[in-house]
């Protein structure tokens, strides 16, 4: 099983979390929030084949880090995985919207030109704006919408664009999230924790907590965890092929 969206570099002891993920054979897509974090974060994956590192520039940091777009382009050839990138339309981030759009459009254009990138995308309160950009960059063939929280109409649009969705405990905890998980085609669902930002009983989620998300999704799908595991493993294989 793979945790498709985890901020490994933001745990107090990333190497310990990475070692335990390796010992448990839990895969991790280790997303970053700034291009300057790339060299240090990719070191966590060294010697731990379960970990794949993604190059990112988080929308919340777009204004402060827009100058790192040149670093983004420099590191992009080193990885097939990109994230966390996207747009955030939350009221507190309205003042950085133009920079967010500039960063996201640059990232999509670079990834589209490079080809074959798997992109983990944040779209809080901005699903329509994200989907508008994805429609302009059809070279992004495997967008993965992480923790999707748009409307049912936006979800339908994302499905028509053949997006993938990484779902985790936070989506399972809300009625809207559960409705989305029921509506997404089973062949396009992946698991995530978004640790360490997400918590359970006051403790940050760890990559192996994808198994609790697996249980929740299996319940919604009215099947056994074993059957759901087969679906997720097939999906992972298809996405990474």
Pick between residue 88 and residue 218 the one whose CB is nearest to Mn ion.
88
Q: Write down the H helix ranges in the chain.
A: 14-24, 38-44, 62-65, 69-75, 97-114, 127-136, 152-160, 169-172, 175-183, 210-220, 225-240
Shortest Cβ 202–Mn ion spacing (Å)? 19
Pick between residue 97 and residue 197 the one whose CB is nearest to Mn ion.
197
Residues 189-218 that bind Mn ion (CB under 5 A): 194
Pick between residue 9 and residue 194 the one whose CB is nearest to Mn ion.
194
Pick between residue 3 and residue 194 the one whose CB is nearest to Mn ion.
194
Pull the structure tokens for residue 144.
């993965």
Interface with Mn ion by CB under 5 A: which range of 49-57, 150-158, 163-171, 186-194?
Answer: 186-194
Residues 128-167 that bind Mn ion (CB under 5 A): none
Pick between residue 171 and residue 218 the one whose CB is nearest to Mn ion.
171
Pick between residue 68 and residue 192 the one whose CB is nearest to Mn ion.
192
CA distance 147 to 195: 12
What's the chain's length in residues?
241
Pull the structure tokens for residue 241.
């092929």
Shortest Cβ 168–Mn ion spacing (Å)? 10
Shortest Cβ 196–Mn ion spacing (Å)? 10
Token pair 């669902």 in the structure block, residue: 189
Shortest Cβ 215–Mn ion spacing (Å)? 22
Residues 42-101 that bind Mn ion (CB under 5 A): 84
How far, in whole angstroms, is CA 3 from its chain's centroid?
9
Q: Does 9 bind Mn ion (CB under 5 A)?
A: no
Question: In sequence order, what E strands does 69-149 have?
Answer: 81-86, 118-122, 142-146
Q: Contacts with Mn ion: how many residues (CB under 5 A)?
A: 2
Shortest Cβ 7–Mn ion spacing (Å)? 6
CA distance 130 to 83: 14
CA distance 54 to 120: 8
**Angle between the N-to-C axes of helices 225-240 and 210-220, in degrees from 0 to 180, rounded to the nearest 10:** 110
CA distance 16 to 13: 6
Shortest Cβ 29–Mn ion spacing (Å)? 11
CA distance 39 to 201: 33
Pick between residue 122 and residue 180 the one whose CB is nearest to Mn ion.
122
Shortest Cβ 211–Mn ion spacing (Å)? 19
C-alpha dihedral, 133 to 90 to 146 to 30, nearest 10°: 100
Q: Which residue is nearest to Mn ion (CB)?
A: 194
Binding site for Mn ion (CB under 5 A): 84, 194
């Amino acid at each position: 099983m793979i945790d498709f969206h985890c901020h490994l570099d933001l745990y107090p002891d990333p190497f310990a979390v990475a070692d335990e993920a390796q010992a448990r054979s839990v895969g991790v897509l280790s997303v970053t929030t700034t291009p300057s974090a790339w060299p240090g974060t990719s070191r966590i994956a060294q010697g731990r084949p379960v970990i794949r590192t993604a190059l990112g520039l988080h929308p919340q940091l777009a204004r402060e880090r827009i100058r790192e777009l040149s670093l983004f382009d420099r590191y992009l050839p080193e990885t097939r995985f990109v994230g966390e990138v996207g747009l955030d339309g939350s009221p507190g981030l309205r003042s950085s919207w133009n920079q967010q759009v500039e960063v996201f459009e640059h990232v999509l254009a670079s990834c589209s030109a490079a080809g074959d990138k798997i992109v983990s995308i944040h779209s809080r309160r901005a699903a329509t704006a994200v989907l508008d950009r994805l429609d302009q960059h059809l070279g992004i063939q495997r967008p993965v919408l992480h923790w999707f929280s748009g409307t049912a109409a936006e979800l339908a649009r994302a499905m028509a664009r053949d997006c993938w969705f990484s779902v985790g405990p936070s989506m399972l905890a809300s009625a809207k999230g559960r409705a989305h998980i029921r509506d997404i085609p089973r062949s396009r669902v992946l698991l995530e924790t978004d640790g360490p930002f997400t918590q359970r009983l006051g403790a940050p989620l760890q990559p192996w907590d994808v198994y609790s998300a697996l249980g929740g999704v299996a319940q919604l799908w009215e099947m056994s965890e074993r059957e759901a595991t087969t679906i997720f493993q097939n999906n992972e294989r298809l996405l990474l092929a």
